[in-house]
Structure 1
Amino acid sequence: MIRVVGYSFRFQKLMDLKEREKEDSKTKYSESLGFLNREMQELEGLTQSLQQWEEKRVELERQATPIQRLLEIHSYIQHLENLIVKKHEKVHEAEKKTECLHLELSEKMRDFQVWEKWKEKTYKEYQDEMMQREQKEMDELAIQRFVRRGGT
């Protein structure tokens, strides 16, 4: 960030607003990514649990297990399958939201970069102008010294 005594960017307040918007967008995107990761981990946990219960059911079917116990396990497996379907939907929604927030963040970053480049350009122009003024003053001083000495 350019901050120089004597130089003032006319649109600094607008640029500060753009920077806050970019930072807010980063925060939202980061939170969305965290939520998506948690949802995916929960889905993975449910899937592993389903696999374990199915293996247990197969094992119990081979043994002399009461039918009531097998029905309970089957019912629980169906419950897990329903949870997995719902979790897939939540993961899909979280992915869509995260993608939208990523696009928004990209837009905010590009917008801020445009303003930042413009500020750098105006600062460079300011520096060039100050150097020209300084050179002009030095030239005038040199001319005055030359004239005072008699011009020869």
Structure 2
Amino acid sequence: MQYQFRFEKILTIKEIEKDEALNVYNQAVKRFEKAAEKLYELLKKKEDLEVYQSSRLVNGIPVQEIRHHQHFIHNLEKTIEHYQQIVMNARNHMNFQQEKLKEKNIEVKKFEIMKEKGLTNYAESVKQLEGKQMDDISIQHFMNRGN
């Protein structure tokens, strides 16, 4: 007779839920990383443009070009603000999914611990049953030897 965990189906379902939560979390991490990289690129672009503009100011630059750069930087700042919001939302979503994943891991761990305890108890009861059977066999063997 082999040990059959009575909550095996529930454990399987919880493991599937945990795997799904892990996939959702990984997607959230990728989304966050993608948004953060785009934000970094925009910030770097703004910094490079400001450095370029300041170097051009030293040598002299037409007013129209200054206006053009200021307008471009202003639009770039709006885009940066937009991406900062996207990054913040992506981070919040990622953290939320991480918490859900932790909860799923805890649920699975609880069932795994229950399974381990049940298996241990089963092994002990089998060992006791085998001991009783060996005692019975020994008693029968002793009784038959005496006859």
TM normalised by structure 1 equals 0.91
* CA distance in 2: counterparts of 1:123 and 1:131, whole angstroms: 12
Indicate the residue corresponding to 2:107 in structure 1: 111
How many angstroms does 1:39 deviate by? 1.2
- Identical columns (%): 27
* CA distance in 2: counterparts of 1:65 and 1:30, whole angstroms: 48
SS in 2 for 1:8: coil
How many angstroms does 1:33 deviate by? 1.1
How many angstroms does 1:63 deviate by? 2.6
Letter in 1 for 2:44: Q
In angstroms, what is the RMSD of aligned CA positions? 1.3
Match of 2:46 among 45, 50, 71: 50
Letter in 2 for 1:15: L
Q: Which runs of 5+ in 1 are unaligned?
A: none
Indicate the residue corresponding to 1:143 in structure 2: 139
How many angstroms does 1:66 deviate by? 2.3
SS in 1 for 2:146: coil
Q: Which runs of 5+ in 2 are unaligned?
A: none
Letter in 1 for 2:69: I
TM normalised by structure 2 equals 0.94
How many angstroms does 1:14 deviate by? 0.7
Check the 8 A contact 1:57/1:74 in 2, yes or no: no
* CA distance in 2: counterparts of 1:105 and 1:64, whole angstroms: 57
Are residue 39 (structure 1) and residue 35 (structure 2) matched? yes
* CA distance in 1: counterparts of 2:35 and 2:119, whole angstroms: 47
Letter in 2 for 1:60: R
Indicate the residue corresponding to 2:83 in structure 1: 87
* CA distance in 1: counterparts of 2:61 and 2:90, whole angstroms: 42
Indicate the residue corresponding to 2:129 in structure 1: 133
How many angstroms does 1:62 deviate by? 2.5
* CA distance in 2: counterparts of 1:62 and 1:149, whole angstroms: 115
* CA distance in 2: counterparts of 1:98 and 1:47, whole angstroms: 22
How many angstroms does 1:60 deviate by? 2.0
Check the 8 A contact 1:43/1:87 in 2, yes or no: yes
